[in-house]
C-alpha cells in the first residue's frame, strides 16, 4: 500500500492568504465608497489599486530587505 503524503498545514495557509487579501481589500474598498458617497462600482477599481500597491510594497520590501516585505495586509 502506498504511503500517503503528510497533510501540509503550512501549504494550506499559504494558499488561503491571497483570497483573504482580496476579501480584505474588497471590504475596505466597499466601505470607502459607501461612506464617501461614491458609486459602488468604483470599489472594484479601488480594490485593484490596493492590490497593486500591496504587490509593489511587497516587491520593494524584498529588494530593500526591510519590514515592507509583507505589503499592506502584513501577511
Work out the angle at residue 28's Cα, subtended by the Cα atoms of residues 22 and 29, and round it to the nearest 5 degrees: 85
Does residue 13 register a pLDDT over 80?
Answer: yes
pLDDT in tens, 21-72: 889 999 999 999 999 988 888 888 988 898 888 888 777 766 666 555 566 6
Does residue 1 register a pLDDT over 60?
Answer: yes
In the prediction, which pLDDT does 64 show?
Answer: 63
Residue 50: alpha-carbon gap to chain centroid: 9
Model confidence, pTM:
0.69
Amino acid at each position: 500500500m502506498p504511503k500517503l503524503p503528510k497533510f501540509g498545514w503550512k501549504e494550506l495557509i499559504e494558499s488561503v492568504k491571497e483570497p483573504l487579501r482580496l476579501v480584505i481589500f474588497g471590504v475596505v474598498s466597499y466601505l470607502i465608497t459607501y461612506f464617501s458617497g461614491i458609486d459602488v462600482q468604483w470599489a472594484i477599481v479601488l480594490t485593484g489599486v490596493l492590490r497593486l500597491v500591496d504587490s509593489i510594497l511587497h516587491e520593494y520590501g524584498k529588494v530593500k530587505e526591510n519590514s515592507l516585505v509583507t505589503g499592506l495586509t502584513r501577511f
